[in-house]
Homo-oligomer: A and B are copies of this chain.
Amino acid sequence: MLQPKAYVFDAFGTLFDTTSVLARCEETFPGQGPELTALWRSKQLEYSWLRCLMGRYEDFWTLTRDGLTFACHALHLRIDQDRLDHLLEGYFTLEPFPDTAVLTRLGDIPRAILSNGSPTMLNAVVSNSGLTSRFQHVLSVDAVKSYKPSPDAYRIATDCLGLEAKDIVFVSSNGWDVAGAASFGFRACWLNRQNAPLEMLGQKPEAIIRTLGDLVP
């Protein structure tokens, strides 16, 4: 794809593998790790959209905790505070996907992260993964107390970079995020890691790639 003036990346699921917490879930609740991890992730996202619509923003760390609590209740898993904290802290040490190694090969073009994650979560996961030097900006929607796919959330990136949306390639593995980014005006690039079908949200990405390596000119 034509080189942009900047790249903006989603974090969870795009650069960092949220299924990294699967091992902790499975260790804590043998045999139920996959189901717990999936429901947890799904509730975490659902709560971000619902709270944003209700005008009751809480940061993503709170929603991550609330999503896990709900998922444990729904699956009839008893969890105490220590184990809850242990699972949650998995978010601080999510593994970066191996293909993040190619980020250094994108040339001198500015790179930023724009994530729903709270500043604490983001700083921890970026720092622990050793990717700090790959990004000029690590941006959290917490600055505007709104979640993606709200335009207010995406605007953080254009404001920070001082660029128009049309000059920025926005990369996400999350289909709904790609739709939100395209709707906002970014050049949306869907990193379709799971070979998932396109979300039916009336927006098409400019490009669909299978690995971050496909971004390298």
Contact = CB atoms under 8 A, between A and B. Distances in A.
Interface residues of A, number: 35
Number of copies: 2
A74 B202 contact: no
Given A54-B179, A54-B183, A180-B53, A47 B150 contact: no
A50 interface: yes
A198 B66 CA distance: 11
B197 A50 contact: no
A196 interface: yes
Contacts of A149: 50, 53-54
Contacts of A151: 54-55
A174 to B, nearest CB: 11
A26 interface: no
A212 to B, nearest CB: 24
A53 B52 contact: yes
Interface string A181-197: 00100000000000011
Contact of A70 (B69, B74, B197): B197
Contact of A74 (B148, B183, B197): B197
Interface string A63-93: 0001101100110000000000000000000
Interface in A139-176: 147-151, 176
A199 interface: yes
B201 A73 contact: no
Contacts of A105: none
A200 interface: yes
Given A46-B46, A201-B50, A56 B196 contact: no
Contacts of A180: 50, 53-54
Contacts of A199: 70
A147 B46 contact: no
B50 A49 contact: yes
17 contacts: A43-B200, A49-B50, A50-B176, A50-B180, A50-B201, A52-B53, A53-B150, A54-B149, A54-B179, A55-B183, A56-B201, A56-B202, A56-B203, A58-B202, A70-B197, A73-B198, A74-B197
